[in-house]
Amino acid sequence: MSTSLEATTPREPADLSGRLDGASKLRIFTVLAVIVLFTEVAPMQFVMVSAALRQIAPAFPDQGANINWAIIIFGVIGAAASPLIGKMSDIWGKKRMFLLCGVLFLIGCAICAITSDWILFLFGRGLQATAIATAIISYGLIRDLMPRKYVPIGLGVASTGLGVSAVAGPLIGGYIVDHHSWRAIFWFLFVFTLIMIPLVALIVPESRLRTPQRLDIAGSVLLAAGATLTLIYLDKGQDWGWAKPSTLAWLIVGLLLLVAFPIVETRVRQPIMDMKLLFHPRVSVVLFIGLLASFMIGYQGYAVGYMTQSPPASEVTAGVVQGTLAQIQAQTGQRLPAQAVQVVLDPGYSYGDNLTLLGFGVNVALAQAVLGMIAGLAAGFWIRRSGGRLPLIAALAVMVVTAFAYAVTEHSWGVIAVISAVYGLAFGMYYASTPNLIVEGVPAGQQGISAGMLGVMHSMGAAVGIAVATAFLNANPVRAEVSVAGNHVATKEIPLLFADRGYELGFYFVAVSAAVALAGALWMKHGRTAATGGTAF
């Protein structure tokens, strides 16, 4: 292993990176827009495919609850592959790997759109998962290509996007789900990517910066396999049983591989990432904050969508009444009036607006997304003047406040929408701050792998947040106490509905995790001076 960070990570000469210093503003911002639009495809497909999961399930009737692998495999493979693809972009070229991810995503879309075979469908989803790495690569492209003064702003825009996924995703996805086959989603994504690939090829120049080394196969396997097994445990532990030996084996082996990763990397001549750099506070503290903040980010997206799209209690009660009447008639032949059946939900719940995906996008997600984009852009200017630490502190403080607000306020969609809009400010500032802190904290030759490690922390944090919160939800189911003519006859657990307390405990949990992340940001020594666009290291 090298004796200094600079030995394995050469500095970035201004005349070798291909920086657009002499280009017009139109040229600069056109390149930025194309890069950002290309990275939108991964979050956009997540919104659309998640919404269409109920429609996809009948096409694979033998899978049952395993249908959620359509979502899990995308996140798991994407998280595991991102640092490796990021490292490949350091070695072989960022634009080259950017386009390769697009081609693989395109092939995956075509497979998912036409196949009726479950294994082949999952293979297609795995190919699509490589698109997650486009965000990682985009940070390096922006660092290498944008004039220095635009790098913090460009990273702010890239991190929150141009609205295609956050704004258009729910709207387009909702329309497709409501009016067309689920396969139309994959054809839409196919066409979008087919348009973007030549635009990237023609408009975005290649960064000339390369890290002269071979890909470390041993480190790559340890990191990818460890992350994959750990994420599978977090994603499927609830279904398989957290404490079952066969389930715990996934976690134990995954953690052992992750522990072995730095041990092996300190003993190879050209590690996938310099371990001195990985454990330096300017990187490790950002990764720690990213892990904890993602508890909130993952859970907020899960809980808010679920709460607002669930049916109201009155509709559930009416459904139980009708089901009970139908059951009595089938068993006894009697037709009883609806008034003969009394249903009490115990515990009850106060959320539930029965919003469609399109309704959720218009009424809740739109304001959050727009304010997130504005905050990301504004944070870029702020970071250019004072560094990434203060915007990160502001973002985490707002996360803490909004997490508590979700827990203690009324759970109607209007109140949730207002809190979500405020949360959007935190989302934008957070995702503008963290990549800027990484850019300012690592050499250009380690940019891809460093951003990839941040991506792994984000994926693991979101998985942990959802897993812990799901445990709270499952411990607080909604039950219907059914009485007929004043006599108690049954207690029925309502599937996929949970008491307010379950969601509230989840928000308290992520509020505490965000508060710990905030403490880390307050302590952090890195990011206290104006951002330089990557020349400070």
Q: Write the pLDDT tens digit of every residue in 243-267.
A: 899 999 999 999 999 999 999 999 8
If asked whether residues 333 and 451 sit together in one domain, one would say no
Where is the domain boundary, 164, 179, 213? 213
Please indicate whether residue 285 or residue 448 has the higher confidence score (pLDDT).
285
How many residues are present in the chain?
Answer: 537
- Give domain status of residue 11, yes or no: no
If asked whether residues 113 and 170 sit together in one domain, one would say yes
Q: What is the mean pLDDT of residues 516-534?
A: 91
- Give domain status of residue 155, yes or no: yes
162: pLDDT strictly greater than 70:
no
The bridge status of strand 487-498 relative to strand 477-484 is: antiparallel
Q: How confident is the model at residue 536 (pLDDT cuts 50, 70, 90)?
A: low
Q: What b/e string do you get for 336-371 counting C-beta neighbours within 10 Å, with b at 16 or more? A: eeeebbbbebeeebebbbebebbbbbbbbbbbbbbb
If asked whether residues 326 and 467 sit together in one domain, one would say no
- Give domain status of residue 3, yes or no: no
If asked whether residues 267 and 409 sit together in one domain, one would say no
The per-residue pLDDT for 366 is: 86
The mean predicted confidence, pLDDT, of the chain is: 88
The per-residue pLDDT for 65 is: 63
Instruction: Name the residue among 250, 289, 252, 280 with its Cα closest to residue 457.
Output: 289
* 465-520 residue pLDDT tens: 888 888 888 889 999 999 988 888 888 888 878 999 999 999 999 999 999 999 99
373: pLDDT strictly greater than 70:
yes
Q: How confident is the model at residue 421 (pLDDT cuts 50, 70, 90)?
A: very high
- Give domain status of residue 227, yes or no: yes
Query: Which tokens in the block code for residue 86?
Result: 């990021």
If asked whether residues 35 and 181 sit together in one domain, one would say yes
The per-residue pLDDT for 199 is: 97
The DSSP line for 255-290 is HHHHHHHHHHHTTSSS-SS-HHHHTSHHHHHHHHHH
For the chain, what is the domain count? 4
- Give domain status of residue 8, yes or no: no
If asked whether residues 399 and 515 sit together in one domain, one would say yes
If asked whether residues 223 and 87 sit together in one domain, one would say no
If asked whether residues 180 and 253 sit together in one domain, one would say no
If asked whether residues 198 and 305 sit together in one domain, one would say no
Angstrom distance (rounded) from CA 133 to CA 39: 8
If asked whether residues 344 and 451 sit together in one domain, one would say no
* 324-366 residue pLDDT tens: 888 888 888 888 888 889 999 988 899 988 888 778 888 888 8
User: What CATH number is attached to the domain comprising 411?
Assistant: 1.20.1250.20
The per-residue pLDDT for 142 is: 94
If asked whether residues 427 and 458 sit together in one domain, one would say yes
From residue 24, how far is each of 30, 31, 151 by CA, in Å?
A: 10, 11, 15
Residue in the block written with tokens 């006859």: 489
Angstrom distance (rounded) from CA 127 to CA 104: 5
Q: How confident is the model at residue 9 (pLDDT cuts 50, 70, 90)?
A: very low
What is this structure's pTM? 0.87
Which structural domain, as residue segments, surrounds residue 462?
Answer: 273-311+356-475+501-537
If asked whether residues 344 and 325 sit together in one domain, one would say yes
Q: What is the mean pLDDT of residues 418-430?
A: 96
Answer whether 97's CB lies under 8 Å from 137's CB.
Answer: yes
The per-residue pLDDT for 16 is: 60
